[in-house]
Amino acid sequence: MSFTLLADIGGTNTRFVLAKEGHGILSDSYEAFPNSGASSPEVLIQRYFQNQGIESCKQVVLALAAPTYGEEIVLTNHDWRFTIKSISAVSGAQDVRFINDLEALGYGLSALKSEQLQHLAGPSISGKNGPRVVVGAGTGFNAAIVTQAANGDHHVKAMEVGHMTLTVETQDEFDLWQYLAQGRERASVERALSGLGIEQIYQWHCQKNAYKPLHINAQSISSAALNKTDPMAEKAMQTFVHIYARTVGDLALAFLPKGGIFLSGSVTRAMAPWLQGSGFFDCFLAKGRQRDLMRQFPIYILQDDQAALLGCEIAANYDRN
Amino acid sequence: MSFTLLADIGGTNTRFVLAKEGHGILSDSYEAFPNSGASSPEVLIQRYFQNQGIESCKQVVLALAAPTYGEEIVLTNHDWRFTIKSISAVSGAQDVRFINDLEALGYGLSALKSEQLQHLAGPSISGKNGPRVVVGAGTGFNAAIVTQAANGDHHVKAMEVGHMTLTVETQDEFDLWQYLAQGRERASVERALSGLGIEQIYQWHCQKNAYKPLHINAQSISSAALNKTDPMAEKAMQTFVHIYARTVGDLALAFLPKGGIFLSGSVTRAMAPWLQGSGFFDCFLAKGRQRDLMRQFPIYILQDDQAALLGCEIAANYDRN
């Protein structure tokens, strides 16, 4: 069988799809599993193979929310460990590759259709006019930079921006900073701009307002805010959007992504209705003398949570050529 | 005459040197002028030519503390405006090029001798093992990224990191943040990490401690701190080092400069004795789970304030080949 298994192992969910030589991705084979339902990715692969009625594949490309150097992979936000050998053993594949999930998204960018991208602010993309940045807000937070060499080759590199210092601009935000830093000595960007971050920001608003929390997880906080059934959830979303916009603006000053900023990840998708309001772009632009520069960056929301799988296929082919 | 005029126009000083085809840089021709003593760079070029006994040159390469796209150059931190035409007219050169001053430093890196670099912390540089970052703290603050393509070509790009949000980690630092943000709506990195920043940090310490300021400018504050003649100056230096180290650490997470971090600029050189203490590296490393990653970045102080001139020559040649 000439199947390639493409997988995106996030901090919360794992997504699979098969590709077949000469046919590309087989859309019907797409399946997603919560990580919490399995003891290891090897178990999930077995389950997926069973569902698909296959026993083995030729190649595996895994997009991972983790550093991908070294022999053993240790997921950053979920307690799974595995190796090229263990994945090879369970899948039968001789060729097993790991790539960072944001790097997979970076490779996937060039193949995305317009309906997979929602324009948020700034100019529209026009040709390939500079580096692009993919920002991922989900279980964790990070960004990857996509540059193009003179020969047209794409170069994609994930950074560690989720561990940068969380910024504040008001006393209120510094109080939140201290709340997020409890038991540590600092608060990183990821402490606020992640699923757990939304939960903590919500709890902080509840505590500050002596309000009994009605929700525990990010998804229900986000829904309650949308449905306007919980004023603290709405406050939490507003706080999140300010921090998100300011942070993405800071990253724009660091990478000057004239080719576009692509916001991705489960938290970004849940926040999309809030990002559409004027609050996000106003905060993004608020860089003093650099306001005009800030207007030059196209900003998009990456709607498709399968884009990383597309990127896996491109990265694998790209690597072969 | 086959002279090339190389110049580094900073926010405070302008440095000149001549290069001669086949002979490289003529060290004896080096001269520096304070910008405040002249109404324009054209006037300074005339004065320099007079001192050197020449009337014109074939080529001019100017390193500038300013964006270098567009026809007219507007210096970021000094009120000079000039164009390729106006520089061509005064110098007689047909070939006039502008490059960003940090990009010039980036090009200059590869030609620096070991005595021009002072090892500050982290591993020593060993070969070309990753991107390099040049950080400039002087009249303003910025960084340039140096990467190497597969064919060995260097690519140098200045960012706008001085305009990123200034970070804080204590209530005291947030009070300083508010002091620096007075009359604006925000405090950027450059508000603290510059000559003016040192002066403001000093004034803030004086105000907070009801202490009559003994010094006005960054240079005398820095000297007073070194000579231990002013406790507020010492406090200002300590605050500066903390913010500097944390900011450089954040930039390391954004750019992963395994090839090295090179701290440059007049403020960096003035701060060098303070950076050597353990305070800088401790703050730099303090990125929680990423502490081990932080240990992998070589950190150097770029001692030579003529490195940008060296970079001008390399960039000019590099461009020609």
- A157 falls in which pLDDT band (50, 70, 90)? very high
Check residue A303 and give its pLDDT.
85
Percentage of residues in chain B with pLDDT exceeding 70?
98
Question: How does pLDDT run across A262-273, given as a tens digit for each residue?
Answer: 999 989 998 998
Judge: B289–A163 Cβ closer than 8 Å, yes or no: yes
Is residue A138 predicted with pLDDT exceeding 50? yes
Q: A289 to chain B: nearest residue by CA?
A: B163
| Residue A159 near chain B (CB below 8 Å) | yes
Query: Integer distance in angstroms from the first to the last C-alpha of chain B?
Result: 22
Q: Are A95 and A40 in contact (CB under 8 A)?
A: no
| Residue A113 near chain B (CB below 8 Å) | no
Check residue A99 and give its pLDDT.
92
What is the mean pLDDT of the segment spanning A59-72?
A: 84
What is the sign of the dihedral through the CA atoms of A9, A184, A186 and B289? Answer: negative
A:B CB pairs within 8 Å: 89
Q: Are A124 and A150 in contact (CB under 8 A)?
A: no
Q: Which residues, 6 or more positions from A277, have their beta carbon under 8 angstroms from its beta carbon?
A: A241
What is the mean pLDDT of the segment spanning A24-52?
A: 94
Q: Specify the 3-state DSSP secondary structure of B21.
A: coil
A163 contacts in chain B (CB < 8 Å)? 253, 287-290
Question: What distance in Å separates the CA atoms of residue A164 and residue A142, rounded to the nearest whole number?
Answer: 10
| Residue B163 near chain A (CB below 8 Å) | yes
Question: How does pLDDT run across B26-72, given as a tens digit for each residue?
Answer: 999 999 999 998 999 999 999 999 999 999 999 999 999 877 777 78
CA atoms within 13 A on the CB side of A280: 21
Nearest C-alpha neighbor of B138 from the set B306, B276, B270: B270
**Dihedral angle computed from the Cα positions of residues B114, B117, B121 and B126, in that order, rounded to the nearest 10 degrees:** -40
Of the candidates B157, B165, B254, which has its C-beta nearest A167's C-beta? B165
The ranges assigned to domains in chain B are 3-106+306-320, 114-303
- A150 falls in which pLDDT band (50, 70, 90)? confident
Judge: A165–B161 Cβ closer than 8 Å, yes or no: no
Question: What distance in Å separates the CA atoms of residue B294 and residue A285, rounded to the nearest whole number?
Answer: 31
Is residue A127 predicted with pLDDT exceeding 80? no
- A302 falls in which pLDDT band (50, 70, 90)? very high
- B169 falls in which pLDDT band (50, 70, 90)? very high
B186 contacts in chain A (CB < 8 Å)? 169, 286-288
Query: What average pLDDT is seen over chain A?
Result: 92
Query: Tokens 């070589």 belong to which residue?
Result: B298
Q: Tokens at residue B161, please?
A: 């990191």
A251 contacts in chain B (CB < 8 Å)? 254
What is the mean pLDDT of the segment spanning B210-216?
A: 95
Check residue B1 and give its pLDDT.
55
Q: Tokens at residue A285, please?
A: 């632009």
Who has greater pLDDT, A149 or B194? B194
Check residue B201 and give its pLDDT.
98
- A2 falls in which pLDDT band (50, 70, 90)? confident
| Residue B168 near chain A (CB below 8 Å) | yes
Of the candidates B160, B169, B255, which has its C-beta nearest A256's C-beta? B160
| A167 to chain B, closest Cα gap in Å | 5
Is residue A321 predicted with pLDDT exceeding 70? no
| B50 to chain A, closest Cα gap in Å | 38
Query: Out of A164-168, B62-66, B84-88, B110-114, which region has the weakest mean confidence (pLDDT)?
Result: B110-114
- B299 falls in which pLDDT band (50, 70, 90)? very high
Q: Which fold would CATH assign to domain A117-303?
A: Hexokinase; domain 1 (3.40.367)
Query: Integer distance in angstroms from the first to the last C-alpha of chain A?
Result: 22
ipTM of this predicted structure: 0.92
Q: Specify the 3-state DSSP secondary structure of B197.
A: helix
Query: What average pLDDT is seen over chain B?
Result: 92
CATH 3.30.420.40 for domain A3-106+306-320: yes
Q: Specify the 3-state DSSP secondary structure of B214.
A: coil
Check residue B22 and give its pLDDT.
84
- Number of other CB atoms surrounding residue A53 within 10 Å: 6
| B143 to chain A, closest Cα gap in Å | 9
Of the candidates A164, A166, A171, which has its C-beta nearest B253's C-beta? A164
| Residue A250 near chain B (CB below 8 Å) | yes
Q: B185 to chain A: nearest residue by CA?
A: A288
Of the candidates B160, B168, B255, which has its C-beta nearest A159's C-beta? B255
Is residue A320 predicted with pLDDT exceeding 70? no
B250 contacts in chain A (CB < 8 Å)? 164-165
Q: Are A261 and A275 in contact (CB under 8 A)?
A: no
Question: What distance in Å separates the CA atoms of residue B89 and residue B83, rounded to the nearest whole number?
Answer: 10
In order, the DSSP letters of B284-301 are: HH--GGGHHHHTTS-EEE
| Residue A251 near chain B (CB below 8 Å) | yes
Is residue A24 predicted with pLDDT exceeding 80? yes
For chain B, the residue count is: 321
| Residue A293 near chain B (CB below 8 Å) | yes
Judge: A171–B169 Cβ closer than 8 Å, yes or no: no
Bridge partner residues of B92 (DSSP): none
Q: Which long-range contacts (CB under 8 A, 24 or more apart) does A44-47 make?
A: A44/A14, A44/A16, A45/A5, A45/A7, A45/A16, A45/A87, A45/A90, A45/A91, A46/A90
Is residue B240 predicted with pLDDT exceeding 90? yes
What is the mean pLDDT of the segment spanning A307-315?
A: 89
B253 contacts in chain A (CB < 8 Å)? 159-161, 163-164
Q: A247 to chain B: nearest residue by CA?
A: B165
CATH 3.40.190.80 for domain B114-303: no
Q: Are A284 and A121 in contact (CB under 8 A)?
A: yes
Write out chain A in H/E/C secondary structure.
CCEEEEEEECCCEEEEEEEECCCEEEEEEEEEEEHHHCCCHHHHHHHHHHHHCCCCCCEEEEEECCCCCCCEEECCCCCCEEEHHHHHHHHCCCEEEEEEHHHHHHHHHHHCCHHHEEEEECCCCCCCCCCEEEEEECCCEEEEEEEECCCCCEEEEECCHHHCECCCCCHHHHHHHHHHHCCCCCCEHHHHCCHHHHHHHHHHHHHHCCCCCCCCCHHHHHHHHHCCCCHHHHHHHHHHHHHHHHHHHHHHHHHCCCCEEEEECHHHHHHHHHHCCHHHHHHHHCCHHHHHHHCCCCEEEECCCCHHHHHHHHHHHHHHC
Question: What distance in Å separates the CA atoms of residue A236 and residue A263, rounded to the nearest whole number?
Answer: 19
| Residue A28 near chain B (CB below 8 Å) | no
Question: What distance in Å separates the CA atoms of residue B15 and residue A70, rounded to the nearest whole number?
Answer: 47
Q: Are A33 and A44 in contact (CB under 8 A)?
A: yes
- A318 falls in which pLDDT band (50, 70, 90)? low
Check residue A125 and give its pLDDT.
87
Sheet arrangement for strand B117-121: B117-121, B299-302, B260-264, B132-137, B141-148, B154-158
B40-57 in b/e form (b: 16+ CB < 10 A) is ebbebbeebbeebebeeb
Judge: B185–A256 Cβ closer than 8 Å, yes or no: no
Question: How does pLDDT run across B246-283, given as a tens digit for each residue?
Answer: 999 999 999 999 999 999 998 999 899 889 877 999 99
Judge: B160–A246 Cβ closer than 8 Å, yes or no: no
| Residue B274 near chain A (CB below 8 Å) | no
Judge: B186–A159 Cβ closer than 8 Å, yes or no: no
